[in-house]
């Protein structure tokens, strides 16, 4: 959570169309992905048609928020001044249990401790009153 009174200065998602709907669910602390109501395939990032069957019938289905670390890159040099105090950090791709992949950030684990297939869960961080981002933390067994 950003400290009260501190302006959030990092880039924010473009809040329009289906992307805005995705982040509206995040603001309600629910991770939802599109699920095709014709064939049952999950998809992310948001788009109009199913890549499996072509249907444009779908719903926002709730994710269990669990997945595994699919891959990551360690950002050692900030490419935007607002990230200067965060480096080094891991920008990650999470393979969710539903099968979709989510770009996220690992918030509780130093980059050198990351492992492929590490169990993670999505947690929410309200960075502005309008925008809540899905972050990830490791799940310890």
Site residues (vs Zn ion, CB under 5 A): 36, 38-39, 41, 50, 52-53, 55
Nearer to Zn ion, 50 or 118 (CB): 50
Residue 91 CB, nearest approach to Zn ion (Å): 29
Q: Are 100 and 33 in contact (CB under 8 A)?
A: yes
Nearer to Zn ion, 28 or 37 (CB): 37
Residue 26 CB, nearest approach to Zn ion (Å): 24
Nearer to Zn ion, 37 or 73 (CB): 37
Residue 39 CB, nearest approach to Zn ion (Å): 3
Instruction: Render 46-65 in DSSP notation, one character per residue.
Output: --SS-TTT----EEEEE--S
The C-alpha angle 61, 67, 40, rounded to 5 degrees, equals: 35
Q: Are 136 and 109 in contact (CB under 8 A)?
A: no
């Amino acid at each position: 959570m950003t400290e009260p009174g501190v302006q959030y200065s990092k880039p924010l998602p473009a809040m329009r169309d289906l992307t805005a709907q995705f982040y509206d669910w995040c603001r309600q602390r629910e991770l939802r992905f599109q699920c095709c109501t014709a064939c049952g395939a999950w998809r992310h990032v948001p788009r109009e048609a199913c890549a499996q069957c072509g249907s444009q019938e779908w719903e926002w289905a709730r994710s269990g928020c669990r997945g595994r670390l699919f891959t990551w890159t360690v950002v050692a040099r900030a490419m935007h001044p607002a990230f200067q105090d965060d480096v080094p950090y891991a920008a990650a791709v999470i393979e969710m249990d539903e099968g979709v992949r989510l770009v996220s950030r690992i918030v509780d684990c130093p980059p050198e401790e990351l492992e492929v297939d590490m169990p993670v869960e999505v947690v929410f961080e309200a960075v502005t009153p309008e925008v809540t981002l899905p972050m990830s933390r490791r799940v310890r067994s």
